[in-house]
Structure 1
Amino acid sequence: MKLSKFDIGAEVISILTRGMYQDPRDALREYVQNGIDAGANDITIKVRQNTVAIIDKGLGMDYKTLRKAIRVGISDKDPKKKVGFMGIGIYSSFHLCDKLVIYSHKQDNPPLKLEMNFATMRDTLKAQRQLRFEDRLDSDELIDLQTLLENCISLTDEGTLTDEDFPSIGTRVELIGLDGNFLNLLSNFASLSNYLREVVPLHFNKDKFKWAGKIETQIRKICEEHNSKFQLINLSLQVNAISENLYRPYVDSDFTNDISNEPIFKEISRDDVFLGVVWACLNSDRKKIPNRDLRGFLIKKQGFAIGNRDKTAIYFKQRTHFDRYVGEIILTNPLILPNASRSDLEYSQYSMMFLEILAKDIAPYYNQTSIKYQERELADIQISDFKDYLNNLNLKYKRDEKDAKVLVQYIVELNDKKSEVQNKDKNASLTEFQRMNFKKLMDSADV
């Protein structure tokens, strides 16, 4: 069956982008993602008045590459190696701004400028809908996608711009004329920075998180042992007068008493198939992580968040221990892919393998670790209480006591307390250090 360009209506671009990028901040994530795919280690986002600029120091694009970037649903990127591969991300700001302008400069090539007039596209579609509503436009007269894009996209010819126009190697993406409905969200530094800290592959903050260096080093070590890639970038955010280098959101103050337990790592693998690695820090007491937004485990694929932490909570059955952790499940296997909106994983043999491991291995392991820690902490409290009780009992008991009833009561009470701690030891919850302390206390008792 032969088809024509009129078989694909222009409305599809509006439907796709609204459905895939429901949070306006997702568009910035997409452009950061493109920068990483271009080899950028340093990316800057600037928000000023009604304009957003995303600047990366990647390889830049030549004419052929930038021309191909216009295509819808077609990408030359290898999904096993690149973060983005759907061929739609460039249009992620379709509903956010009036115009998208991209400057790109590749080594030994002239700089280029691509301009997409989203406002004109939206106005065209809006007018078309109104005519349809009034029965003044037949379906055969609807504008097709190709014509809409041809009318609203321009790409400079090679040589039109010089190095003086855009001297830096890399790419600059500008969202011009932000929609007022989204301006407040995108110009709110706290909201935007919190979002980016969570979803982008940033470094851990070594100044504010005790275990930052150890986590980065250990994850990289495990990945290298399996010939897998763990990539991190430097991201600077400037919103009007506020500017800051961003890191992952984890800081010591997110834990009770400003300290967490040492990170616990676990490889995700089966039958010599390496899928990724988990890291998690358990709260320093038997309480939930104070920061509700960071409780539990976040899935990340190639550093970018997949859904939110609630997505993994169901595999832990009860949230009691889940909420006492802060951690990430970092998937690096190239055969596990995210869905288009990055809200979940695409169905595949390997994603199903991962979810089975999560339910049967990862969740039980971290649940049990939390349970053992809880029992040891309770044992510490019980030993401390026993020590206080013993001191009080010895104060009450006289060494020259002659009354047999008093002596028997002392022995009974002492043995009752001793049994409580020994029962904990039977459950294998006491450490050697705890056993030693308990023995010293018992030896000090005059029974």
Structure 2
Amino acid sequence: MAEIGKNVIENLTTAMYENAYTVYREYIQNSADSIDKAIAAGVVNEKDAIIDINIEYNKRRITINDNAMGIPAEMFVKKLTDIADSQKDRTKEKGFRGIGRLAGVGYCDTLIFKSSYKGENVESVIEWDGKKLRDVLADTTQHPSAADFVDDITYSYQNKANVDDHYFEVIMEGVIPESDDLLDKAVVIEYLESVAPIPFASWFIYKSKIYEFCRNNNLKIDEYTIQVNGNQLFKPYKTKIYDGTSGSTKVVDEIKDVEFKEFYASDGRKLAWMWFGISKFEQQIKPMNKMRGIRLRKENIQIGDENTLGASPKFFKESRGNCYFVGEVYAVDSELIPNARRDYFKTNATTKEFEVEVRKVLYNELYKTYHYANQVKKAFQSQTDYERKAVEYDKKVSEAGFVDEKDKEKAKKDLETAKEKAEKSVRTIELREQDANENITLNRVFNEIKESYRPEISNTVISVDSVKQEEKNKKEDKKYLTQNLSKYNKREQKLISKVYSILQAILPKDMADMVVAKIQEELSK
């Protein structure tokens, strides 16, 4: 008869998950399942159901509590000591393998489960000795079977309770120093805001459009009230996109709308659906923007992280592609089953179909979208660049603003080059507008970019003051900048002009113009 050794317990605890924060996700998904049952049974109202997390750093204690079904006393010990023997329905429930409850035992000295079931006057309690678990696992001379090992490190008992109480509580006592991150409230909140099945924040104005899409298509987003130390959590999506370079809070783009896609299997079953934001796609979204990238979710619990779809060549033609977007793919088919680590789906025929269908959008359509946006931006930029250069040139002509003839000729050539690019861009814009007329996503992108590049200046408009100045310059025979320095003689003006030319030769254009302007200002005093 085969015997399962103690190491399987290690494999199902700390070795199972990529980081310690996973313990929160595991206990939250179990509470969410219990809340669903409690609402269906009329034990609790949906608006009153809550998952309450309390982090006490000084006491090195974490408590996760829900006011859902609880577990009947006669079933409590078996449910909390049986391993990988869950009776949950994997097609309907979030946690179904029967191993998630072990997640916390490797990170604390004592893992305690408490529960009371409505109609019973007892509180059932079981304690797992995490310290002893680690000691036995580290002792190479001890080789208990997995069953004996569990019996040796668990202790159960009962307390009196109110007959109307119904709850389940997880307590991690004595969180070990190596797992200090679990007690960092700010980091835990940031993790759960991404992963947990919580509502959108009120400031994300497109949430109502997402909910409307769900109502119209018979879809549901599982959402629960989850608190950390009394503060309710929300998905931190925002409409503004920030630069994020060296702590900058400069807004570089903005989500102007959201679009939806649905994915179907060959037999017509709905596999998944998604929403994603429409912007000008100015640049890759920086990490400071929470919730960047297209995220994968099942029952509104995140699968993997922001890179799960973006890092896979199955889904994005370019690894950078995912960072141009915000959005979520919600898997809905019952055969899209999260694997034990919950970083992707179990491999099966439905998963393969899902990959094929989602790829059509992410690999092809979204790739085309941000590249299309770049083409449109460059075309409009060519036109605004030409307009700006034309106004600058006319202004310098009217105000005798060129250093010398060489400076004037260079500016004239730059203007001609800009004009050629602007003329070519007209055809590019026409073609891209034709594309936009055939594709609703590209149409939205085109219009957003077009609106942002509305000309603020025009090379056909020269102010009355500029015209008067030009006429005055002609009368006084002024052509170049230094001729405005009337208190200097022609020889001195020529020397100053030579200095200006040297500065233009050795400095970048913007810096040279700034230095020359400053010198001109000082010499004019």
- TM-score over 0.5 for the pair: yes
Does residue 263 in structure 1 map to residue 274 in structure 2? no
Report Cα offsets for 1:79-101 as digits up to 9, x if no partner.
00000111111111121112222
Query: Could you say if the C-alpha distance between residues 176 and 332 of structure 1 is closer, same or farther in structure 2, counting changes exceeding 3 Å?
Result: same
Q: Hey, what does 2:227 align to over in structure 1?
A: 236
2 CA distance for matches of 1:331 and 1:82? 14
Following superposition, the deviation at residue 149 of structure 1 comes to 2.2
Tell me the residue number matched to 2:67: 57
1:45-444 matched pairs, under 5 angstroms: 45-48=53-56, 49-66=59-76, 67-119=78-130, 121-122=132-133, 125-126=136-137, 129-131=139-141, 142-156=143-157, 160-163=159-162, 168-182=165-179, 184-207=180-203, 209-218=204-213, 220-221=214-215, 225=217, 227-238=218-229, 243-256=230-243, 257=251, 259-271=254-266, 272-291=268-287, 294-313=291-310, 314=312, 315-388=315-388, 416=420, 419-429=423-433
Structure 1 residue 391, shift from structure 2 partner: 5.1
Per-residue deviation, residues 17-41 of structure 1 (Å, max 9, x unmatched): 1221241111111111100010264
Q: Distance in 2 between matches of 1:279 and 1:371?
A: 19
CA contact 1:43–1:56 (8 Å) conserved in 2 = yes
Q: C-alpha separation between the residues in 1 aligned to 2:173 and 2:373? A: 53
- In the alignment, the residues of structure 2 paired with residue 179 and residue 386 of structure 1 have an alpha-carbon distance, to the nearest angstrom, of 64
Consecutive unaligned residues of structure 1, counting only runs of 5 or more, are 133-141, 399-408
Q: Give the residue type in structure 1 aligned to 2:51.
A: I
| Distance across 1 between alignment mates of 2:141 and 2:320 | 56
Q: CA RMSD in A?
A: 3.5
SS of corresponding position for 1:323:
helix
> What is the CA–CA distance in structure 2 between the aligned matches of 1:285 and 1:36, rounded to whole Å?
36
Please give the per-residue CA displacement for 1:181-216, whole angstroms capped at 9, x wherever unaligned.
11x201212211111111111111113x33333334
Cα distance in 2 for residues equivalent to 1:336 and 1:125: 37
Q: Secondary structure at the match of 2:13?
A: helix
**Kept after mapping to 1: 8 A contact 2:264/2:271:** yes
Residue of structure 2 equivalent to 1:11 = 7
Which TM-score applies when normalising by structure 1?
A: 0.80
Larger radius of gyration: 2
- Once the two structures are aligned, what percentage of the paired residues are identical? 20
Matched residues, number: 408
Q: CA deviation at 1:373?
A: 2.7
Query: Per the alignment, in what secondary structure is the counterpart of residue 31 of structure 1?
Result: helix
**8 A contact 1:55–1:173 mirrored in 2:** yes
**Does the aligned pair in 2 maintain the 1:277–1:331 contact within 8 Å?**
yes
- Structure 2, unaligned runs of 5 or more: 37-48, 244-250, 399-412, 437-445, 462-525
Instruction: Return closer, same or farther for 1:59/1:421 CA change in 2, 3 Å cut-off.
Output: same
**Would you say the 8 A contact 2:107–2:130 is kept in 1?**
no
Q: Which protein, 1 or 2, shows the higher relative CO under an 8 Å CA cutoff with sep ≥ 6?
A: 1
Q: CA deviation at 1:15?
A: 2.4
Q: What CA distance in whole angstroms lies between the structure 2 residues aligned with 1:291 and 1:98?
A: 35
1:139-180 alpha-carbon deviations (Å, 9 max, x no partner): xxx3222222223334446xx52218xx64221111112112
Residue pair 1:255, 1:283 contacting (<8 A) in 2 also: no
- Tell me the CA shift for residue 284 of structure 1: 4.4
What letter matches 2:215 in structure 1? K
Residue aligning to 1:137: none
